[in-house]
Amino acid sequence: MAARTILVLGGGVGGLVTANELRRRLDPADRVVVVERERRHLFQPSLLWLMVGRRRRDQIERPLRELVAPGVEVVEADITSVDPAARSVQTTAGSLAGDEMVVALGAEPDRDAVPGYRDAALDFFSPDGAAACARALDAFKGGRVVVAVAALPYKCPAAPYEAALLLEDELRRRGLRAPSEIDVYSPEPAPMPVAGAAMGAAVVALLEARGIRFHPGTKIERFEPGSREIVLPDGTRVGYDLLAGVPPHRAPAAVRESPLAGGTGWVPVDRATLETGHERVHAIGDVTSITLANGKPLPRAGVFAHGEGLVAARRIASALAGRPADDAFDGVGYCWVEAGAGRAAFATGAFFAEPDPALVLRGPGRSWHAGKVLFERSWVGGRLERRLAHAGLVVGGRLLGVTATA
């Protein structure tokens, strides 16, 4: 049998999981090729800790090649165009084609979508922005802290609320809580609205318990960095002394400009199989669009990219072996909500439940925070740490940290 080539576009969580699972299941003669522009894999959930000075960048990154299984090829290049019909891509390192393709290119920040955002906000969705926020905290003497969601959609639904809770805790730790106030502004009607009213109310209660004001349904017209103000559509001006920002996200240009993109610019997929409308092309993670029973989109979060990557890899391996492809993505997910003071809440749920996702939020505790630290180590720790995390971090029978190199 001639060797087959499977292209995995993107080396984030979903791409790594997909590539490693394919390598484990396919014939050694088959090629698994990951195309990724970054040499180092960044564990994005830890940007929140970098934002408040509790991590350094080198602690939350690892060389990408250390995270792929032996035998997985890595092409370091930008993808400039995607041709799903031919299962080929143009990159800055040349053209590539495969027998199967998995699109795992994620979502990119659109920092120019709202005027003034780029210059005004300490954008903790990037390592440079998170580090800049940490430096701003070092110089902060008290005042008004604002966490602002610039526009929708954005990835990691809990991030703005975790940021507010961590900033509050850091101000308290530095003796600056009394002369400070903290506000969260978001266009959403409630925190994490896809999860339902009960989840939103629980997150609001966490904020209120720490004296953090939440302003739902607030659209931002523009940011004015010169005067340190946010301007709302009705002309209201909101002043700030420190502004932590959440940018809107969109699919990468190579996807938006390809036949893969649906009407919203994201890639529509079958929610169970992750198949696109193109033969032998799957898409997973933040770049996809999956509509839930309640009409809301499946959140863009690493846990779903992880689960989808496993399903896509197993279905491809089965198809190439001539076996029925029975694996299906079930929409089960989880997330931590960092609450500060070494504590975190933990939410688990079935997002494909009807009529709404069925979720449970477990209150803040040190054990949940420790679980997130262990999960972080499973991705960016040393080989021994990853092996221990791989063996021990299980919730509801599901392994939360999976790396083929552990």
pLDDT tens, position by position, 64-111: 999 999 999 999 999 999 999 999 999 999 999 999 999 999 999 999
pLDDT given for residue 383 in this prediction: 54
Q: How far apart are CA 266 and CA 250, in angstroms?
A: 8
* Alpha helix ranges (H) inside 105-213: 117-120, 127-139, 159-173, 197-209
pLDDT at site 13:
95
Tell me if 375 sits within 8 A of 338, measured CB to CB: no
* pLDDT score of 55: 97
pLDDT of residue 230: 98
Low-confidence residues of the chain: pLDDT under 50: 384-385, 387-406
Residue 2's pLDDT is 77
Residue 97 CA: distances (Å) to CA of 48, 62, 336 = 37, 28, 38
pLDDT of residue 127: 97
Going along the chain from its start, the domains and CATH numbers come out as 5-107+251-329 (3.50.50.60), 109-249 (3.50.50.60)
Q: How many CB atoms lie within 10 A of CB 117?
A: 26
**Containing H/E element for 24?**
helix 13-25
**Among residues of the chain, what percentage have pLDDT more than 90?**
90
Give the span between the Cα atoms of 285 and 253, in whole angstroms: 16
Query: Quick check: 83 and 101 in contact, CB under 8 A?
Result: no
In the DSSP assignment, the letter for residue 298 is: P
